[in-house]
Structure 1
Amino acid sequence: MKNAAFFWSMMFLVLAAASGLGHFFRTLGVGIAGENLTFRLRVAVLANILRQHIGWFDEDSHSSAKLAARLATDVPVVKTAAGYRLAVMFTALVTLGTSLTLAFAFGWKLALALVAIVPILALAGGLQLRVEKASQRRDAHLMSHAVQVSTESIENIRTVQELNLEPTFFGLFVSHLLVPFIESRKRSILFALSFAFFTRSHVSCVWLCLPPGRLSRH
């Protein structure tokens, strides 16, 4: 008994070390790939901007401040979606496949119950992810106005100082910052509800499938 306990404890240590190395190399690879993707995307976007005609820059949505803000905010979003989130999604799919294989091998009845519960978890996770993406797009759009005010005031700092307009631009900058702040406070309730729904779904599934849950009794 003691030898078996020692053997399996060592196996768990080996499994922990392998898992740690796997997470390290996964994070390293995703980070390098994400940085390379971000660099190439920024170069491509900037080259496309420089090829536009002069009248294109006269539009309010194509001002230098807003273009700089888009380069600073939109590209990292693509990096996050194609890097870390893609790695998490791949890990989740591998974990799900392995778990279902082991579940059907050792208890197919409980495995069928788990398969029926998976769509509920997917719906809860998708709802939470959709709320987060909508919030990120909305915040990026609202913050672009504040970035435009700060960039234009810094670029024309001599004119601002000569006309003594520092308080005016500061107040305008703060007013643009208050808009996303107020919107975030309003959306915090929706965040809380989506997170509560996801957590409640996960905990309920664990309670149903593990002892002393109802499904495990049958």
Structure 2
Amino acid sequence: MNPHFLHNSLNTIQWLAKANGQDEIYNLVKVFTRVLHYNLGKGSMVVTVRDEIVALRDYIELQNVRYDHRFNVSIDCDPRLGETPIPRFVLQPLVENSLYHGLLSEQGDIRVTIREEGGERLAIAVADDGKGMTEARMNELLEGGGRGQGLGIGLQYVKKMLDVHYGGAARLEIDSEPDKGTRIRILVPIRPEGGVLDD
């Protein structure tokens, strides 16, 4: 389907909802349109940490409506890192994996933290308090297994983006234990604002 057709159709639905006093539908379609626009963006594949967080908050808002606000996502980012360039669309797949594959009964907490580490690396962690996984499953995912499953697809996409943009300078780690949750951590070199990052 042509993305322009989809975008224009959503805009029509949005304004019809507004004209008929359906504010909840209007706001939902408005957020969905922003998520779609960001995810299908034809601009640079390099964005700022701030851009990624704004897009992630829109995604969370949509999912909270879908799941009737039964889960909580906290985002803790060092404000000094807001303009740091990173590849587009790396946060949402990790949060989505925690939501769909980590949480028990679609409830629980997901914590996103973004910090500077050692003055040279950006450390992004997404942790949940859900069902966790075995060491064998962690190793399978890190080695590229599980492509046919949702978790494997999202994680492999993020790994590919890190490899494309940083080569061997990026690292992805999984720390998990059955019934004790999962934490996925990305470590990448910090590029200064306006610095070079392969696009």
For the superposition of Structure 1 and Structure 2, which TM-score range results when normalised by the shorter chain? under 0.3
More helix by share: 1
State which structure, 1 or 2, has the greater radius of gyration over its C-alpha atoms: 1
Which one has more relative contact order, counting CA pairs under 8 Å at least 6 apart? 1
More strand by share: 2
TM-score norm. by structure 2 comes to 0.26
TM-score norm. by structure 1 comes to 0.24
